[in-house]
Structure 1
Amino acid sequence: MCVVALAHRVHPDWPLILIGNRDEFHARPAAPLAIWDDGSGIVAGRDLQAGGTWLGVHAPSGRVVVVTNVRGALPDPTKDSRGALVVDMLRGAGGFADPAAGDLGRFNAFNLFAVGDSAARLLSNRPAPQIAALAPGVHALANEPIDQPCPRAERLRTALDAVVGAGADPEGMLDTLMATSDPALFLRGDVYGTRASTLVAVAADGGVRMIERRYEAGGRPAGTTALEFRIG
């Protein structure tokens, strides 16, 4: 996931909204959004190369986690999987279920939003490992270190902030912002580009609307999955 925005406890109908694009090589295999069949309670797409995920919801607990990589740092194949970090944090079990700042250097460069128990956190290991609580509001991440300005993230944050301010249905963002030819948000490359646009919207009563729109090379639509379920 390369650009993502989070609205945390500010929309009148949806206390949690998460929307973003996953940009990746088109040749990297991935499974569509689904309820995982391993009994974990995770609802997510799946990276079939490393086995983890970039964005997911843990239906029993309501935890939501999303990760982006950070450009400018060469990946080290000996590092632990960022997708596995997301899975452990979603399940609340495993070696990285509740990572400390000292654990974050074990992964290649990343930024991460984690929401659970009505609290939201930012985790990052660029420019240095840190874990910070997020106040209610609209926040955004992309592929830049968190101490650097990122016009792409700010564009999405501003758009989600407008949806929040209007009390509007967040699903419209998938049409008006995520599936456009604007390279600021949607990448139409033949080798590398936007693979999926995903919306997670959690209502005050615990109902969840989760939509994934998938794309192949050149930005051609490759299918949509829309799920509704409850947390807890």
Structure 2
Amino acid sequence: MCLINFHFQNHPKYKLIVVANRDEEYKRPTKEAHFWEDEPTILAGRDLQQMGTWLGISKSGRFAALTNFRNPKLPNAPKSRGEIVKDYLTCYLDPIEFISNLKENRHQYGGYNILIGDGNELFHYNNIFDKSIKISPGTYSLSNCSLNTPWPKVKKGMKELNYLTSQSKSEIEIEQLFKLVSDRTTAPVEELPDTGVGLELEQLLSPMFIQMPHYGTRCSTVLLIDANNHVTFVERTYEDGEFLFDKKFEFTAQQ
């Protein structure tokens, strides 16, 4: 997962609005969103290589989403980051306790950002900076550095999601959210960050929706939790940048 835009506790209808893109190698085996056979309370896509996930929600309304921290100089770590999302969705720890455990084991994983919580409270933790915060009401964006780092797609995602939510005082159009993260415009060279991957790759990775020969946006996800804990989860799957299909799920979280 390389881009998560979200609007929290600041809308008349929805407690949480999430619109996110997962970017990955095209060849990496993946199963689209479903309720897992071995963990039937989890609704999420699944990485079939490590059996974890990048974004999901449980039937009780526990939510988690993860992005990698981009720095090619970081050493390899023994554990898969996708386990973190799965572990939060299946455990009974509150977010503060869960983050405390993450801090103790932060070197077991490659660099990452994690969002955890539900529609009522939300937390962010970054294991590279070893910093956690409780999210206040508002609009945010998270890519491959930290929360609201002013990369071009982060700034654009925040601005456009804030505009959409401000214009909609009731039901928000799911297609508008998908359109937001389908933008394939590359950023100007002078606005690019320097994460150590080289200028050419920085530019290829700069759009909200990435399309490269062997790597790019594999799916987009919209998650809505309304004031009555009704959950709407829509995943849009792509292949080589082309739309394949949508999967939609709706249920009421049993909090």
* TM-score for the superposition, normalised by structure 2: 0.82
User: What's the CA shift for 1:105?
Assistant: 2.6
Q: Paired residue for 2:5?
A: 5
Over the aligned positions, Cα root-mean-square deviation in angstroms equals 2.1
Higher-Rg structure is 2
Residue aligning to 2:36: 36
Q: Does 1:135 align with 2:157?
A: no
TM superposition shift of 1:180? 3.7
Counterpart of 1:201 (choices 183, 199, 224) is 224
Greater Cα offset, 180-189 or 83-92: 180-189
State the partner residue of 1:226: 248
In structure 2, the residue matched to 1:164 is 165
- The aligned counterpart of 1:214 is 237
CA distance in 1, matches of 2:112, 2:165: 27
Distance 2:185 2:236 in 1: 17
With 5-14 and 163-172 compared, the bigger mean Cα shift is at 163-172
- Summarize the Cα distance change of 1:143–1:39 in structure 2 as closer, same or farther, 3 Å threshold: closer
Q: Which whole-Å CA distance do the structure 2 matches of 1:25 and 1:106 have between them? A: 23
Of 169, 173, 180 in structure 2, the residue corresponding to residue 177 of structure 1 is: 180
Identical amino acids, percent of aligned pairs: 29
Counterpart residue identity of residue 91, structure 1: T
The equivalent of 1:150 in structure 2 is 151
Partners of 1:30 and 1:150 in 2: how far apart? Answer: 28
Q: 1:149 to 1:172 in 2, by over 3 A?
A: same
Question: Alignment partner of 1:215: what SS?
Answer: strand
Instruction: Give the conservation status (yes or no) of the 8 Å contact 2:15–2:119.
Output: no
Shift of 1:102: 2.8
User: What amino acid sits opposite 1:229 in the alignment?
Assistant: F
- The answer for the alignment partner of 2:113 in structure 1 is 111
Q: Please give the alpha-carbon distance, in whole angstroms, between the structure 2 residues aligned to 1:146 and 1:116.
A: 18
Distance 2:146 2:72 in 1: 10
Say if 1:176 and 1:148 are closer, same or farther in 2 by CA, change over 3 A.
closer
1:47 corresponds to 2:47: yes
Distance 1:199 1:148, change over 3 A: closer
**Equivalent residues of 2:3, 2:20 under 8 A apart:** yes
Structure 1 gaps, min length 5: none
In structure 2, give the amino acid aligned to 1:114. Answer: I
The answer for unaligned runs of 5 or more in structure 2 is 187-206
Secondary structure of residue in 1 paired with 2:5? strand
CA offset digits 1:65-117 (Å, max 9, x no partner): 100001114464442211001111111259x9813123223210011111237
Q: Distance in 1 between matches of 2:176 and 2:90?
A: 28
| Matches of 2:162 and 2:176, distance apart in 1 | 11
Cα 1:215–1:46 shift into 2, 3 Å: same
Give the TM-score normalised by the residue count of structure 1. Answer: 0.90
The 3 A distance-change label for structure 1 pair 26 and 158 is: same
- Structure 1 equivalent of residue 104 of structure 2: 102
Q: What are the Cα deviations for residues 23-70 of structure 1, in whole angstroms up to 9, with x where unaligned?
A: 1100001000111122440000000011000000011x2111100001
Letter in 2 for 1:181: R
SS of 1:72's equivalent?
coil
Contact 2:77-2:107 at 8 Å conserved across structures: no
- Which residue of the partner structure matches residue 68 of structure 1? 67
| TM-superposed deviation, 1:228 | 1.0
Q: Which SS does the other structure have where 2:31 is aligned?
A: strand
From the superposition, tell whether residues 9 and 145 of structure 1 become closer, same or farther in structure 2 (CA, over 3 Å): closer
The aligned residue for residue 122 of structure 1 is 124
